[in-house]
A and B are shown apart, each in its own frame.
Chain A
Amino acid sequence: MTRLGELERAVMDVLWDLSPGRTDGLMVREVVDALAGRELAYTTVLTVLDRLAGKGMVRREREGRAWRYQAAASREAHIAQLMLDALDLGGSRDAALVRFARSVTGTEAEVLRAALIASGEPNPPADPATPVDPVSPADPATPAAKTPKH
């Protein structure tokens, strides 16, 4: 995993694990404090949060002169989405994944879809106005397409 990916993951873990019970999201400062062990600069965390917002993983709302950030979907919803892709139930007909074997039943598919609906839409359309941040994409093979899948 790249360092950037690892940071994104750490920030998302904070948003997921610290915010239950709070619906208003976290300020950048709060995220920085929660990651105190890593000694990250404020601007680094801000960049990571912006990057995550660009990918549609994080929602932000303006509060005064600052932004509040919260996860766009729960961890479980993301896992459900990945499993739908993995079990070829995502409705995509592209050869995006190669599977060992499909082992899924109608009920399982329903459970997965229900998990998605219950935890909110996991793929909100990325804001087209979101500027492409200066951090280069981690993967050289893929163009910087910030559109949601399908």
Chain B
Amino acid sequence: MTYALHFGLTVLACWLTAQVLARSTWTWRSPRVAILCWQAVGLAAGLAAMGLPMALGLAGYDLPTGSALWALVGELRRGAWPAGVTALQLGLVGLGCGIGVVLFTTTLRSLHSAVRAQRRHRDLLTLVARQDPTVPGALVLDHPSAAAYCLPGVRPRVVISAGTLDLLDQAELAAVLTHEQAHAQERHDLVLLPFTALRRALPWLRWVRDAHERVTLLVEMRADDKARERHAEAPLAGALRRFAAADNRLTPAGALGLGDHDLELRVHRLLETGRPPRLLGTAALAVTTTLVALPVSLFLS
């Protein structure tokens, strides 16, 4: 029972940590640390969600969950009904395994469809995108709308639309390119993948949605930081503003798109220079590492 309690407490602690992380603003000043924290919370929550029903089902063994699971598997393989385990308890163990399988396959399916979409996108780019001397290393799409994005992969592509070329000056373009290259280098697509997958699996769970939105924003901020290192704040903030303004000019008042609030946050963050909160960051990392260590140690012992 103690083990089930441990898992239960981990789930609760994950939920609380996620609430705190979602509300904190120090995360904006060290996005990389915050992303690590979110990843740890996600991993810990997933493991604990698997472990909780398992530990309840294995309560009869009086062993840590990992060892108890092995004992149960051993007995089942010998063809004997495990002594002291009711059908309900066996069902709970099955539920725990089921949660694990669902989490794993959803992530895998998400990866598969992302790779497929990227492949299709890459094929089309090969046929219709062009190179342009003003943006070396990037591909240009001849379309008047403003877009700048990274097609991730082993050979990533940075793509800019003709609308963006018109919208931004040379310094701003350079900053945007560095921003996109940071996405590609740090494989932010893979960082986002489990969160996207989880959101798809559990669309009604608010804190999953929150986590996904937070991590999406943090990934952008991290890439902003990389661009800021190379090109200073002004061109990047300028580019963001122009993107926001391109929106305002065309949208009727009050009908702004989803990204607008995030865009404002990012501009604001670039203009006020704060030192990364080392102490808070270290503390958050320590807490979230402990969160992961708890279920892992229970499964391994």
Q: Contact: A95 with B196, CB < 8 Å?
A: yes
Interface size on B, residues (CB 8 A): 62
Q: Contact: B151 with A97, CB < 8 Å?
A: yes
Q: Contact: A141 with B153, CB < 8 Å?
A: yes
Q: Contact: A101 with B259, CB < 8 Å?
A: yes
Chain B residues with Cβ under 8 A from A26's Cβ?
none
Q: Contact: B243 with A100, CB < 8 Å?
A: yes
A37 to B214, CA, bound (A): 53
Chain A interface, >50% SS class: loop
Stretch at the interface among A39-47, A60-68, A74-82: A74-82
Interchain Cβ contacts within 8 Å, total number: 164
Q: Contacts A93-B196, A98-B149, A149-B117; is A9 near B127 (CB within 8 Å)?
A: yes
Chain B residues with Cβ under 8 A from A105's Cβ?
247, 250-251, 255, 257
Q: Contact: B141 with A106, CB < 8 Å?
A: no
Expressed in whole angstroms, the minimum distance between the Cβ of A55 and any Cβ of chain B is 6
A100 to B128, CA, bound (A): 21
Measured CB to CB, the nearest residue on chain B to A52 is B127
Q: Contact: B149 with A86, CB < 8 Å?
A: yes
Q: Contact: A87 with B127, CB < 8 Å?
A: no
Expressed in whole angstroms, the minimum distance between the Cβ of B220 and any Cβ of chain A is 8
Q: Contacts A96-B121, A97-B152; is A103 near B147 (CB within 8 Å)?
A: yes
Cβ of B258 under 8 Å from chain A: yes
Stretch at the interface among B78-86, B88-96, B185-193, B270-278: B185-193
Expressed in whole angstroms, the minimum distance between the Cβ of A92 and any Cβ of chain B is 6
A92 to B112, CA, bound (A): 13
Cβ of B146 under 8 Å from chain A: yes
A105 to B163, CA, bound (A): 14
Q: Contacts A81-B124, A94-B113; is A100 near B149 (CB within 8 Å)?
A: yes
Measured CB to CB, the nearest residue on chain A to B163 is A103
Q: Which of B79-131 contact A (CB under 8 A)?
A: 110, 113-129
Q: Contact: B159 with A86, CB < 8 Å?
A: yes
Cβ of A22 under 8 Å from chain B: no
Contact of A79 among B141, B152, B199, B219 (CB under 8 A): B141
Cβ of A38 under 8 Å from chain B: no
Chain A residues with Cβ under 8 A from B255's Cβ?
105-106
Q: Contact: B118 with A96, CB < 8 Å?
A: yes
Q: Contact: B154 with A87, CB < 8 Å?
A: no
* Interface 1/0 per residue, A1-36 and B, CB below 8 Å: 100010011001000000000000000000000000
Q: Contacts A97-B151, A103-B147, A139-B153; is A148 near B120 (CB within 8 Å)?
A: yes
Central interface residue in B155, B219, B257, B259, by most chain A CB within 10 Å: B257
Q: Contact: A57 with B116, CB < 8 Å?
A: no
Contact of B119 among A93, A123, A145 (CB under 8 A): A145
Cβ of A49 under 8 Å from chain B: no
Interface size class of A (residues with CB under 8 A): 35 or more
Chain A residues with Cβ under 8 A from B121's Cβ?
82, 85, 96-97, 149
Measured CB to CB, the nearest residue on chain A to B240 is A101
Measured CB to CB, the nearest residue on chain A to B109 is A94
Q: Contact: A140 with B188, CB < 8 Å?
A: no
Cβ of A108 under 8 Å from chain B: yes
Additional pairs, 8, CB under 8 Å, beyond known A85-B117, A96-B117? A96-B113, A97-B121, A97-B150, A99-B148, A99-B149, A100-B176, A106-B251, A150-B117
Q: Which A residues form the contact surface with B (CB < 8 A)? A: 1, 5, 8-9, 12, 55, 57, 75, 78-83, 85-87, 92-108, 112, 123, 139-143, 145, 147-150
Question: Can you sample 27 A-B contacts with CB below 8 Å?
Answer: A5-B126, A9-B127, A12-B127, A82-B121, A82-B124, A86-B161, A92-B113, A92-B117, A96-B117, A97-B118, A98-B152, A98-B180, A100-B243, A101-B148, A101-B259, A101-B263, A102-B147, A102-B243, A103-B243, A103-B246, A105-B250, A106-B255, A139-B122, A139-B153, A141-B153, A142-B115, A148-B120
